[in-house]
A and B are shown apart, each in its own frame.
Chain A
Amino acid sequence: MRARLLAAAFLLLVLDLPGQVVVEEIGTLQDAFVKAEQSFQAFRFGDAVGELVPVEATLSRWEGAGRLTPSDEALLQKTLELRGVCLFNLGRLDEARADFSRLIQLRADYPFSRSRAPKAVRFYEETRNLLTGTVDLDVDPSDSQVFLDGRALGSGAARSIPVLKGLHVFRFLRSGYDAAEREVNVDVGSRLAVSVRLVPNARTIFIFAQPQGVQLSLNGKVVGRAERPASTQPEWAHYAKTIRTDPSSVYVIPALNLPPGEHTVVLSKPCYAPKTFLLNVVLDRERNLPGYVKTVVLEKKTVDLEVTSRPAGAQVLVDGLEMGTTPLKTRGFCIGEHEFLVQKPGVGEFRARLQVPESAVFRLDATLRPTLVWAGLTRTHEIPPEEMVVLSGLLDEKVASLALFNVTPASEEKDPLLPDTFFVHGVSPEVRASTTALLCERYRCQGLVVGRLDRDPESGEKILSLRLFAPGLNGFDEFTGRGPAAEQTLEALRLLDEPVLAFTPDRILPVGEAAGRGGPVILRDLASRGGPAPGDGLLGVDGAVTSGAQEARDLLARALEPEIRILHEGLERTWRVVPSSFTRVVPDGPDARKRCLLSRQALLSAEDPAQSRAARLNLAFAHLNMGRPSEALESLEGSPESPEGSPGTSAVAYARAVALLHLDRTEEARPFLLAAASDRDGSLDGLGDILVQPLAEDLLRQIPPAAAPTAPAPRN
């Protein structure tokens, strides 16, 4: 014993680890108690008392210092009980009474069980009667929880309990009821009755529904499902009979402890038309009987499903079941939420969880798109965990509905530190790259997206960073959103999903206010597409009259495929702006990996030379932006001849020249630059906003002049 105490003291001195020392001491005390119990069972009461003295002294000291844990307290109670019984057996009654008194003061309702000897039990009870009165408890409902001065006493079942002399507070709790408190003043030997009836503050409602499996949402939260028939509980069966329904054919969803007031109830099931209604809950303060909602029957609804894809010929799977290949038409398709997968081997896939509404036909035009694995959200120490949990839930929901990418969660990954791999300093790029490659292979994805929530120390704003990694591509793209509220940081997600390789109508059709022209005029030459010429007046967009350039720009920015009215050489005519008929090339920007993934997909899905050329150019520029000129050159191999209205051969020639210059192959670049510089109308972006000619001329001026041809050697 001494050796152990010495060992504990040594540990206390050597290690500055108080937790370990306490554990060691408790272990020592427990051992001493066990030894005392053995002495007690061997009728060596004196030895037992001696062994319990240091245990009691140590625990009492801790109690005085206020560091007694619940387990220490239980040990102290058992020590006082055992030592009291030993002292009683040794005839040292005053000392035995002192230990029992102390034990009763610690816990008046202590279940004395150490000795069954009637004398000892009587002695203990006499001692207790000198210190306590009795409280007779009667609580309705009886399964409420009862606390005495903060200590749990168990359920409110009717019983008598000893309580120390003095003022005490009883507290009664039960879900669905208001909490109640009673203060009692107990005298020694007195008997008090405490009878409490808790007041209900909520009510349980049983909703009867057909068919089986109907899901119940209350105020937007799913709370249950109609799985059990009414015949499984007598009161449900009784109610079913009162509404003249067969209890075995109707199903019950219990909605427990609803607070009073209106609740929005939605009953839904895939393939069935959902029903929504308001439920007004009124409390039954007297009897608190459950409420019942008469059987709600959902009606089965189907639609005609039509699925097309770009490119066509893709396999369609709905909820894991193969439906055919695109273009696909099928009848009797269930409304509700379904998991769609449209895939074409070697080309790509379209994954989405879509709500099929009640209508005659549901059409899905699936553009095959890259798939990303969502590796989850992490946080810095500036962000409390609960804030991250809220945003994480939002992100899990929103990433699943991106327009540019299919997103699949990394559901099989159990490592909570996985997202940190992509943010923590000290993790090498190689580790990130290999983790990305591993996860992309496991989830059959083309990229990985991961997030971190941080706080700006100066402004206090929250910052969400989403990082996009792709196997085989160095580095990452980062999309950030910030704001005082976590929801405002979702701007990062919008940036990730921004269709960077598509034009918007306002970009296609710049308009301006030219003095003396009396309204907005068009500033782009689209005459070759049957569209307006520069200087034509813009009279209206989608039926709305445009009086100013800013108004026209706003209308165009909001529209998808607007029909415009123009005044061309005194004649009014209309033209529809179709952004998808313009192919956009983005030569530079901070999102090279995103453009790389999108243009790879676009190349695989390209259905005509214009799309193929634009995709190759985009891919080449994305590689150039990442410092991969060789891959850029490879991307341009086999680029088709320039079709009308697409970025032309001069753009391809220029991209080739830039890649060659990045590889220091200047002489090979020269002919491409000369070709590019000769095209006055060529542009990199496909609309004429980034001109090829001046860029090529600038490079020609910078590279060293071509070496003069070597003169032929004179003939002898």
Chain B
Amino acid sequence: MLALLSVPAGGTVPTYPPDPASPALREPAAAARAALFGGRPNRAYRILLSNPEQGAASGEDADVLARCLVAMDRPLEAAALLARLPGEDPTRGARLRILLDRSMGLAGRASFTANPLPPVELDRKMLKSALAVAPAPEGGTYLLSRDAFVSLDSGGKVSSTRAFPGGSDLCVDGAGKPIALGRGALLWGDRMISLALSMGEPVSAAALPEGNLALLDSRGKRLFKVDPRGVALGSARLSLRDPLRVRADWAGRIYVADGDSGRIHVFGGDLAPLSVIDPVSQGIHLRSLKDFHVDFAGNVLLLDGRAKRLFLLSHGGRLLWSSVEDAPRIRCAGWDGLEGMLIVDDREGRLMRIEP
């Protein structure tokens, strides 16, 4: 197991409220971030409460505090904190709604709307052979096939195409930059990162909120934490039969899908196991888990590759909504973690936007 944070040595235990005799933490915001993304949200929470600047509930501290509350599975408290923040943030309304839906358990929404996007300037065969899709900033789209990575603008026109042999996975980071995994290499935004052979046979990658990457090795069944240059920071061995995909949420929790069982295994930032989301417990019997995505708050979107269906589950494993089998016939799906959810309709060979 990766030990990203060392347990504090003996001496006075730092508390909230702090003992006035103990020295104050020098950079509380940085310490809180390190604790949160190192898998210790409780510690980050305590540090932020102890920091007098936190009283203003603004800026970086408030952002980290909201992530802590998400990590501690306190969606309502996170929503209340986000609502108090000053300034205009276009994504805040979406975050509030998502957190409220989670906290109130709006389960059983069976329906959703799939709105077709403008026809894309691509050979329909290529669209129908797409492996993965992801929403790009300003209404654009990223597409990944076995051989190429394509960027489309909001009108469906191709803005760039890059040869990308062995493409296997695509998702976006918090800033909307694509993370595409190919053979021995990873494309992150405009940067190509070579992956060391010691990382085995990576099948999936995800951006972590602190700026690192999570990489899933299916051959060695290991989960790696990698810095932006591709250098491994640590790893954990997985006892899964078929490690399929890796994703991360806003609070730094890492989600690994097991293609064999259809379960999602949740890990902390220190790669320690936290929980398991089992669709079967909600009566969802996946015929074949093909892909999955996670939103900022830890809600999980599963794609059944054989039934061509989507299922949205809360972080606690509750079914929030699902699509109907074969209507539309979903080949692949992408999610920016907020409201940008795209699918490729296999039957029509069209891109569609999902409005939950």
Question: Which A residues have a C-beta under 8 Å from some C-beta of B?
Answer: 510-517, 521, 523-525, 533-535, 549, 587-590, 621, 624-627, 629, 658, 661-662, 664, 666, 688-691, 694-695, 697-699, 701-704
Contact = CB atoms under 8 A, between A and B. Distances in A.
Given A510-B80, A524-B76, A688-B77, A627 B20 contact: yes
Contact of A662 (B8, B15, B80): B15
B348 interface: no
B19 A662 contact: yes
A586 to B, nearest CB: 10
Interface of B: 7-8, 10, 12-21, 40-43, 45-46, 49-50, 52, 55, 68, 72, 74, 76-77, 79-80, 82-84, 92-94, 96-97, 100, 103-104, 339
Given A587-B17, A662-B15, A691-B74, 12 more contacts: A510-B83, A513-B83, A513-B96, A514-B97, A523-B79, A625-B17, A627-B20, A661-B12, A689-B80, A694-B46, A694-B68, A695-B45
8 contacts: A512-B79, A514-B100, A534-B76, A535-B104, A666-B13, A695-B46, A698-B40, A698-B45
B21 A514 contact: no
A-B pairs, 9 with minimum CB distance: A512-B83, A515-B93, A588-B17, A698-B42, A514-B97, A694-B42, A510-B80, A514-B96, A523-B80
Nearest to A697: B42
Nearest to A588: B17
Given A512-B82, A523-B83, A661 B15 contact: yes
Contact of A516 (B10, B92, B97): B97
Contacts of B96: 512-515, 521, 523
A656 to B, nearest CB: 12
Nearest to A523: B80
Nearest to B84: A510
A627 B100 contact: no
Contacts of A587: 16-17, 49
| A512, A533, A661, A664 pick with most chain B CB within 10 angstroms | A512
B83 A525 contact: no
Given A512-B80, A625-B20, A697-B42, A703 B13 contact: yes
A699 B100 contact: no
Nearest to B85: A512
Given A513-B83, A627-B20, A699-B13, A521 B100 contact: yes
Nearest to A524: B80
A101 to B, nearest CB: 82
Contact of B77 (A589, A625, A662, A689): A689
A626 B17 contact: no
Contacts of A534: 76, 79, 100, 103-104
A523 B97 contact: no
B83 A549 contact: yes
B13 A695 contact: no
Contacts of B7: 701-702
Given A534-B100, A534-B103, A535-B100, A511 B17 contact: no
Contacts of B72: 691, 694
Nearest to A474: B20
Nearest to A627: B20
A358 B51 CA distance: 51
A661 B83 contact: no
B46 A588 contact: no
A278 B137 CA distance: 71
B17 A525 contact: no
Nearest to A510: B80
A243 B19 CA distance: 78
B76 A515 contact: no
A438 B7 CA distance: 49
Contacts of A549: 83
B209 to A, nearest CB: 19
A699 B13 CA distance: 7
A658 B17 CA distance: 8
A87 B19 CA distance: 91
Nearest to B16: A695
B38 to A, nearest CB: 12
B20 A658 contact: no
Contacts of B68: 694
A455 to B, nearest CB: 26
Contacts of A514: 79, 93, 96-97, 100
A511 B104 CA distance: 15
A703 to B, nearest CB: 6
Contacts of B50: 588
B49 A588 contact: yes
Nearest to A626: B20
Contacts of B13: 661, 666, 699, 702-703
A695 B72 CA distance: 11
B294 to A, nearest CB: 19
B24 to A, nearest CB: 12
A698 B97 contact: no
Contacts of A626: 20
A535 B55 CA distance: 25
Contacts of B18: 588
B170 to A, nearest CB: 26
Nearest to B55: A589
Contact of A515 (B41, B42, B46, B97): B97
Contacts of B77: 688-689, 691
B49 A702 contact: no
Nearest to A666: B13
Contacts of B17: 587-588, 621, 624-625, 658
B83 to A, nearest CB: 3
Given A587-B16, A627-B20, A688-B77, A695 B100 contact: no
Contacts of B15: 658, 661-662, 699
B339 A515 contact: yes
B84 A702 contact: no
A621 B42 CA distance: 20
| A590, A629, A694, A697 pick with most chain B CB within 10 angstroms | A694
A658 B14 CA distance: 9
Nearest to B11: A664
B340 to A, nearest CB: 13
Nearest to B356: A516
B1 to A, nearest CB: 15
B39 to A, nearest CB: 11
A590 B52 contact: yes
Contacts of A701: 7, 40, 42-43
Contacts of A658: 15-17
Nearest to B54: A588
A510 B82 CA distance: 10
Contacts of A702: 7-8, 13-14
A3 B83 CA distance: 90
